Amino acid sequence: MAPGDWFIFEMIDNVAVLTLNHPESMNIVNRELFYEMHEMQNKIEADPSIRAVVIKANGPHFSAGIDLNLLKSVDSQFVAENLNFLQRLYGRWQEWHIPVIAAVHGICYGSAVELILGCDVRVASDDLRISIPEVRFGLSPDMGGTVRLTQLVGMGQAKRMILGCEELNAQEALQIGLVEIVVPRDKLEERAIKLARRMAGMPPMAIRFAKRGINLANESSLAAGLAFEQAQSVFCCGTEDQTEAINSFFEKRKPEFKGK
């Protein structure tokens, strides 16, 4: 890894693992991280063999959030020119056909919370401390925080966290649905990668349509969601992977899926 790199990229079978790797700065979010994350996303998109992603961090904390020095240096013109790119950066995980899992521990503040909100599943360690304190610094969350947090935990809890800038521990985050799984700190990476590998081993087309259907259900009407279910079922029934899934079950062997 070259000096200054913000991510370590590695493959575990067909799971891509992205590791934030500036623990000396508590993996603080700055311009360099944004641009390197964009490069990592391009790399993953270009590799069809990748079937799941895990985002984690080195050091005692996941991330302390945005670099306040960056906030001091930008103005409305910078925001107008860059925010669309930055919002898509955190939302891009949802555009993919593959699942993205965040493994989060220690402190996770502000912009880092918005990052994990853009993932599909959040696995937390029992030492998690999570807060979205932008209002304290004269801002409202602007990279999906007000939208995705509200969708995930509801209006009341979102207002509590955003307007009150309250810090939650792992169990509180689990209770309100901000994270889906809590494990001891020494089991965090193992649990997240185990889940990612499980999802990566499923038929790719089924994963694709299931993720898209769940996203659609969160953003549209019942009628639209049911129409999508009908369309995906017409497509998936009779595919090679569906046949392989059923045959391998009866033959008690590991399936070999081709995404067809």
- Name the residues annotated as catalytic: 114, 134
Torsion of CA 212, 215, 218, 222, to 10 degrees: 0
Provide Rg for the chain, Cα atoms: 19
* Spatial separation of the C-alpha atoms in residues 117 and 172, rounded to whole Å: 16
Q: Find the DSSP H helices in the chain.
A: 31-45, 68-73, 76-95, 111-117, 145-153, 155-164, 170-176, 188-200, 204-219, 222-236, 240-251
In the structure encoding, which two tokens stand for residue 163, read together?
A: 């307007």
Q: CA dist 213 to 29, 92, 143, 225, Å?
A: 31, 16, 23, 7
| Length in residues, the chain | 260
Q: CA-based angle 105:5:118, to the nearest 5? A: 45
Q: Are 135 and 159 in contact (CB under 8 A)?
A: no
